[in-house]
Chain A
């Protein structure tokens, strides 16, 4: 830690090592920066943009932007969180997210982020209501890309951890979506034990045969806001 330096997030001094991103340093210091596509142990993607902070007068993604000595970062402010709420709302409106009928409800990071960012009003955005086919071909896993937020965690986990490449992006723009390496999921090398099957933040990749084994009320985000584990490090 000889080269360690400090920078500030919302006025709090944070220690960082050269090469660390703003988010990595913040996590270590117990400061939570909201994020959806980023996941511990996976390459940073910088796609969802929910972690956007102001740093050195510019808006940057905290998950990919390196920390710099003396940098002043604006994170948990009404202006930042309003923009983040816009992005989370965009993701809700892009897909079909019906929390009351979703098995992931209570464990869902998108839903939890909406609560954290106080998405409590009707939104102004139009609903795109896509119609995407369900893939229930695999004996242990169901894939419902209507609930996909294109975070790409499964793609990176399958490629880099499982060494399989079961998932990938196809298409461009609003038609860009996650697809599988074969005619359907059953005809890929996917296994329910893959790391890729455990990183989905939403109810897109669902394990069959264990629905509601944890009852509503006892789920991950029933115990605290998303990010509370990181924030508790500071207390």
Chain B
């Protein structure tokens, strides 16, 4: 298909490009604009965009084909994206999807004939504490049931907009109130630093009375480490950026929390947006930042208006302005963009591919300028540290993990939600707070983190042992661990950017190997194969995605070995099941539309 009924005239595409100054670095915004207006990125649109921005058409296609929320075939005016996370699956995604399918008369992956609605699956949208959830256009629907899905589908078919269908009295609500009408905060434990009572502008006021060097000293003294997962010392990162020779430095807030099971930044962006903006402004003062970008994951587009409001208020109060302002860069469905180099690529209008390091972003980042990329929570902490002093922050937590941390707890527990607690508590203590005491396994740090079994529940959360960007996913004894591992690998296969061989190809092989265990066809040699393949992927991958993607396999092998042993058996016939006859003839069966007389068992006699 090269054109669709709703396609925009060329002038309209050109106007969208002109709206972003025909700037190729704003390619993601241009493509999102076209996607929103004509529901796909048509070949004609790519030609027009290429001409307007001075790129080749293939370069535009490279970006358009990279992001999940951009489509090269026509989609519905309201795309429904069902969250396909493992937590949503366990919470009843199948029944919800079936209800949508029945009411809309389409299958997942299809669009209604009138072009009104399309239905698809998407990885974790950051709503694990209120699963099953879905994006409905730019809005979010949570705690879905088959009944709720049917009612929603009916409303959309009758021509209601997502806003009309999901938010009562939407006209009278502020953007913040509208966001809160869609998504619950579920703050279960407010701590001293972030989620308790927080004064306005106290951090930036303190920072203004300090020299840039003194601000960096304070942040470094506090012991604050990046809260996105990697845990790099924030003060050191700032010091490196401040000392890089350039008169234009950039401050980027990484609000692309895509690690399945993480949703703490969602709560900060909702309730502590001013604190996050304040932290960015403090960073700008410390390093000489001239430009700020808040990279908001596409899944959190429902927060965009609220954040624009927060930025406007910050400008009015004087937190922004005076040589430093912040723009929002919306993402478009790509987990890898949480990696700082990939995030910078995405801000530059490129496919979200990590950058070659060195040079590191602190010396050469966004458009070649020294750039600090910090997580949402990190910036919020900074504002509080400047207000209360580094010693106050340092006194909380443990030696290597200072202060408090937000934990996103979800899965099989009575009280899923966000917990702000000092670092260093045991997993058992957190499970008791969340009502997940009968857990059989806990995934700490999301799929790229560690799967812990019952004998590890006394391990402590912190950089000393169980590091985490915040995700804590609880699995009850009813859950199939290998199903979870298999799901997480499918997630990494879906989200690998494809730049380097081991991550692009190796993860596919790893997933196939796990499937073999699930079919009961694996023996001892397959365990060794899993470990060796994992080691190659980890050692040779170009960025953190491939360096951690085998973790679901490796950490479950280490901490829940019996789960694997139970499905590992030597074959009596001595043959190695390297060839799966059933899988091999499946294609033939489908084409012939009949079973195989040789290989399909006949139980009728």
Binding site for B on A (CB under 8 A): 44, 46-50, 52, 59, 61, 64-66, 83, 86-87, 90-91, 93-94, 124-126, 128, 150, 165-176, 179-182
Contacts and interface: CB of A to CB of B under 8 A. Distances in A.
Contact of A171 (B498, B505, B532, B533): B498
Nearest to A91: B501
B65 A174 contact: no
Contact of A59 (B495, B505, B508, B539): B539
Nearest to B352: A172
A87 B540 contact: yes
Contact of B542 (A49, A66, A86, A93): A49
17 contacts: A47-B499, A59-B539, A64-B356, A66-B358, A83-B540, A86-B502, A86-B532, A87-B536, A124-B578, A150-B498, A165-B59, A169-B62, A169-B351, A172-B497, A173-B496, A174-B508, A175-B498
A175 B351 CA distance: 14
Nearest to B578: A124
Contact of B58 (A66, A91, A125, A179): A179
Contacts of B65: 170-172
B493 interface: yes
Contacts of A173: 493-498, 504
A158 to B, nearest CB: 9
Given A47-B499, A174-B508, 16 more contacts: A48-B500, A49-B541, A59-B539, A66-B358, A83-B539, A86-B502, A86-B533, A87-B536, A90-B502, A170-B61, A173-B494, A174-B496, A175-B498, A176-B498, A176-B504, A179-B58
Contact of B504 (A65, A166, A174): A174
Contacts, number: 112
A46 B504 CA distance: 14
Contacts of B499: 47, 176
Given A94-B505, A173-B504, A46 B62 contact: no
A29 to B, nearest CB: 22
A165 B356 contact: no
A83 to B, nearest CB: 5
Interface residues of B, number: 37
B58 A181 contact: yes
B545 to A, nearest CB: 10
A65 B360 CA distance: 12
Contacts of B542: 46-47, 49, 61
Interface in B492-521: 493-502, 504-506, 508-509, 512
A169 B353 CA distance: 11
B539 A172 contact: no
B498 A165 contact: no
Contact of A165 (B58, B504, B541): B58
Nearest to A169: B62
A172 to B, nearest CB: 5
B502 A49 contact: yes
Contact of B498 (A46, A93, A172): A172
A86 to B, nearest CB: 4
B529 interface: yes
Contacts of B66: 171-172
A91 B508 CA distance: 12
Nearest to B542: A46
B58 A180 contact: yes
Nearest to A171: B65
Interface in B25-84: 56-59, 61-62, 65-66
Nearest to B539: A59
Nearest to B538: A59
Interface string B519-537: 0000000000100110010
B334 interface: yes
B504 A182 contact: no
Contacts of B500: 46-49
A49 B495 CA distance: 19
Contacts of A166: 58
A146 to B, nearest CB: 15
B334 A172 contact: yes
A214 B215 CA distance: 68
Interface string B457-489: 000000000000000000000000000000000
Contact of A168 (B58, B334, B495): B58
B521 to A, nearest CB: 12
Contacts of A126: 509, 512
Contacts of A64: 356
A170 B508 contact: no
B494 to A, nearest CB: 6
Contacts of B59: 165, 168
Contact of B501 (A87, A171, A181): A87
B502 A46 contact: no
B495 A86 contact: no
A180 B58 CA distance: 7
Nearest to B63: A170
Nearest to A174: B508
B57 A182 contact: yes
Contacts of A48: 500-501
